[in-house]
C-alpha cells in the first residue's frame, strides 16, 4: 500500500470535501486577485510612500517573479512533506506577508514583503489539484477541477475593480493599504476550513533540487532586474552584462537538469517534456502572451493615473470591460469553441487581441488633441483586448497539454504556469519601462503610451509565430503516429 493510500481518506466517505474544495478555490483566487488588485493601487502607493517611479513596476514584479521561480519547487515540497501541510503553511505565510505589506512604512520594506507574498503563493497554488484528487473520485473529480476556471475568471474580473474601489473608499483612512488587508479575512476563512483537508503526498517521495532552484532564481533575476525601470534604448554595459550572465545561468540550469535526470534523481523540470517538439514553442507562446496582457494593463494604469491624472476608482472601472470580456470569452471558448474548432481558437483570440490593441493606439492618438481629457472610447478597446485574452487562454492550455503523456501533465502544467508568471514579470518590466522612459508631463504621457502599446502588438506577433510552431509540431507528430517525441 502506497503512502498516498495510507494518508488519503476514501473520497466517497469524505463528507467535508465540498467545503474543503471551497477553501482550496478561495486560496487560489486570492493569489490571482493579489496579482491584479495591486496594479491599480500602485500609483497611489507611490504617491504615499515616495521613491522612484520605477518602484511602481516593482510592486507587481516583486510578487510575480518569486511566484514564477518557486512555483515548481512549491509543488515538489508538497510531494515530499504533504500537500495539506504545505497549503496551510503557504496560506499562513501569505496572510502574514499581506498584513506586513499593509503596514509597510517604506517602499523598500513593501517590496520585500511582496517578495514574501509571491513565495507564499508559490507554495499554495501547486497543492490544489493534488488535494482535489485526494478528496474526490469518479465524475466528481471532473466537476471539482472544472470549478477552478470560473473561480479564476471571477478573480480576474474582481481584481482591477476591487483595487480601485478599496483604495478610493479609504476605509478608516487605510487608502491603498486595504488592498493588502483584504487578504487577512480571506486567509482566515481558508485556515478555518483547512483542518478538514485530507493529508496527501506523492507515493514516492522525490528529491528536492535546491541547486536547480538557485540556478533558475539567479538566472531569471539577472535577466529581469536590469529591465525594470530602465531606459531600454540606453541600457548601460553592466545591465547587458547581467542579462547575458542570466541567460548563461539558464543554460547551466538546463544542463544541470539533464544531469540530475540522468543520475536517476528528481529534476526541477522534467527533461522528457522537451522531446515533444511543440512544447518549447508552447513555453515561448505562454511567456510572450502573458507579457502582453500584464504589461499592457500596467501601461494603461500608469497613463491614466500618472499621465492623465485620473482617479484610482475611475482607472479601476476603465479596466472592468477588459475583465468582463475576458471572463465571458473564456467561458464561451471553453464551453463551446475549443471542442469544435480546436487550435484555431488560439488564432482567433490573438486576432481579436490585436484588434483591441490597435484600437487602443487609435484612441490614444485621437486623445492627443486634448491630452488632459479622459479617453472615452478606451474601455471599449480594452473590452476587445479582454475578449481576445479569454478566447486564447483555454485553447492554448488545451493544445499545449494534449500531446503529452499522462505522467508528464503535472510537470508540464507547473512549468507553463511558471513561465506565465515569468511572462507577466517581463511584460511589466519591458512595456512599463518603455512607457516610463518616454513619458512627459506635457502631453499626459501620450507620446510614450503609443510605443508601449506597439510593443505589445509586436509581442502578439511573437505569440502568433510561436503558437504556429506549436501547432505545426503537434500536427506533424500526430501524422507520424507519435506524441511529438
CB contact set of 405 (below 8 Å; sequence gap of 6+)? 483
Domain boundaries, the chain: 12-197, 209-265, 272-474
The residue with cell 505565510 is: 93
- The answer to whether 134 and 200 are in contact (CB under 8 A) is yes
Handedness of CA 234, 239, 240, 246 (dihedral sign): negative
Long-range pairs, 99-106, Cβ under 8 A, ≥24: 99/180, 99/181, 99/183, 99/184, 101/177, 101/180, 102/174, 102/177, 102/178, 102/180, 102/181, 102/184, 103/177, 104/49, 105/49, 106/49
Angle at CA of residue 374, ends 371 and 377, nearest 5°: 110
3-state percent breakdown (helix, strand, coil) of the chain, nearest 5: 80, 0, 20
In angstroms, the CA 435 to CA 442 distance is 14
- Fold for the domain defined by 12-197: Growth Hormone; Chain: A; (1.20.1250)
Instruction: Please give the grid coordinates belonging to residue 235.
Output: 541600457
Q: Three-state SS string across 381-446, please?
A: HHHHHHHHHHHHHHHHHHHHHCCCCHHHHHHHHHHHHHHHHHHHHHHHHHHHHHHHHHCCHHHCCH
Pairwise CA distance, residues 216 & 422, whole Å: 11
In angstroms, rounded to a whole number, what is the distance separating the alpha carbons of residues 350 and 136?
36
Q: Which residues, 6 or more positions from 196, have their beta carbon under 8 angstroms from its beta carbon?
A: 16, 19, 20, 23
Name the CA radius of gyration of the chain, rounded. 22
3-state secondary structure of 375: coil
Q: List the grid coordinates of 422.
A: 515569468
Task: Please state, in angstroms and rounded to a whole number, the distance separating the CA atoms of residues 321 and 380.
Answer: 7
Walk along the chain (485 residues) and give the pLDDT tens digit of each residue.
334 444 444 444 456 778 888 999 999 888 888 878 888 899 999 999 988 888 888 998 899 889 988 988 888 888 888 889 999 999 999 999 999 999 999 999 999 999 999 999 999 988 887 788 788 877 777 677 767 766 776 777 688 888 888 898 888 888 999 999 999 999 999 999 999 888 877 667 777 888 988 998 899 889 888 888 777 767 788 889 999 999 999 999 989 988 988 888 888 888 888 888 788 999 999 999 999 998 999 899 888 888 888 888 898 899 889 988 988 888 888 878 988 888 899 999 999 999 999 999 999 999 888 877 888 999 999 999 999 998 998 888 888 878 777 667 667 777 888 888 889 889 988 998 888 887 765 677 888 899 999 999 999 999 999 999 888 776 666 556 544 33
* Superfamily for domain range 272-474: MFS general substrate transporter like domains (1.20.1250.20)
pTM above 0.85, yes or no: no
CA angle centred on 347, ends 345 and 349, rounded to 5°: 70
Would you list the DSSP string of 60-84? HHHHHHHHHHHHHHHHHHHHHH-HH
Amino acid at each position: 500500500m502506497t503512502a498516498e493510500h495510507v494518508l488519503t481518506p476514501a473520497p466517497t466517505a469524505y463528507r467535508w470535501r465540498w467545503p474543503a474544495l471551497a477553501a482550496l478555490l478561495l486560496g487560489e483566487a486570492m493569489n490571482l486577485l493579489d496579482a491584479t488588485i495591486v496594479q491599480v493601487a500602485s500609483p497611489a502607493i507611490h504617491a504615499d510612500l515616495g521613491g522612484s517611479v520605477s518602484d511602481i513596476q516593482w510592486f507587481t514584479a516583486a510578487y510575480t517573479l518569486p511566484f514564477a521561480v518557486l512555483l515548481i519547487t512549491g509543488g515538489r515540497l508538497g510531494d515530499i512533506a504533504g500537500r495539506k501541510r504545505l497549503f496551510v503553511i503557504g496560506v499562513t505565510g501569505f496572510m502574514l506577508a499581506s498584513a506586513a505589506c499593509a503596514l509597510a512604512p517604506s517602499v523598500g520594506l513593501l517590496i520585500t514583503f511582496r517578495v514574501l507574498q509571491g513565495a507564499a503563493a508559490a507554495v499554495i497554488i501547486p497543492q490544489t489539484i493534488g488535494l482535489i484528487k485526494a478528496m474526490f473520485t469518479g465524475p466528481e473529480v471532473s466537476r471539482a477541477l472544472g470549478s477552478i476556471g470560473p473561480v479564476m475568471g471571477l478573480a480576474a474580473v474582481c481584481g482591477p475593480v476591487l483595487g480601485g474601489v478599496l483604495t478610493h473608499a479609504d476605509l478608516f483612512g487605510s487608502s491603498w493599504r486595504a488592498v493588502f488587508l483584504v487578504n487577512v479575512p480571506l486567509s482566515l476563512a481558508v485556515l478555518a476550513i483547512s483542518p478538514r483537508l485530507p493529508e496527501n503526498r506523492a507515493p514516492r517521495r522525490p528529491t528536492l533540487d535546491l541547486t536547480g532552484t538557485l540556478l533558475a532564481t539567479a538566472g531569471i533575476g539577472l535577466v529581469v532586474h536590469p529591465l525594470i525601470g530602465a531606459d531600454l534604448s540606453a541600457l548601460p554595459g553592466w545591465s547587458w552584462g547581467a542579462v547575458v550572465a542570466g541567460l548563461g545561468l539558464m543554460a547551466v540550469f538546463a544542463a544541470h537538469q539533464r544531469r540530475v535526470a540522468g543520475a536517476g534523481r528528481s529534476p526541477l523540470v522534467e527533461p522528457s517534456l522537451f522531446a515533444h517538439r511543440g512544447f518549447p514553442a508552447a513555453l515561448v507562446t505562454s511567456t510572450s502572451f502573458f507579457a502582453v496582457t500584464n504589461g499592457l494593463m500596467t501601461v494603461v494604469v500608469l497613463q491614466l493615473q500618472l499621465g492623465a491624472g485620473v482617479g484610482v476608482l475611475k482607472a479601476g472601472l476603465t479596466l472592468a470591460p477588459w475583465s468582463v470580456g475576458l471572463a465571458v470569452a473564456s467561458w464561451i471558448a471553453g464551453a463551446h469553441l475549443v471542442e469544435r474548432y480546436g487550435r484555431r481558437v488560439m488564432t482567433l483570440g490573438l486576432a481579436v487581441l490585436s484588434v483591441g490593441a490597435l484600437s487602443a493606439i487609435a484612441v490614444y492618438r485621437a486623445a492627443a488633441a486634448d491630452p488632459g481629457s479622459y479617453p472615452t472610447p478606451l474601455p471599449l478597446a480594452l473590452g476587445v483586448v479582454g475578449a481576445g485574452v479569454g478566447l486564447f487562454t483555454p485553447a492554448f492550455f488545451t493544445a499545449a497539454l494534449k500531446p503529452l503523456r499522462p505522467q508528464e501533465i503535472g510537470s508540464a502544467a507547473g512549468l507553463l504556469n511558471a513561465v506565465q508568471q515569468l511572462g507577466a514579470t517581463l511584460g511589466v518590466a519591458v512595456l512599463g519601462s518603455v512607457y516610463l522612459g518616454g513619458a512627459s508631463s506635457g502631453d499626459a504621457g501620450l507620446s510614450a503610451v503609443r510605443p508601449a502599446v506597439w510593443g505589445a502588438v509586436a509581442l502578439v506577433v511573437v505569440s502568433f509565430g510561436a503558437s504556429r510552431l506549436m501547432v505545426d509540431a503537434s500536427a506533424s507528430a500526430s501524422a507520424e503516429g507519435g506524441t511529438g517525441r
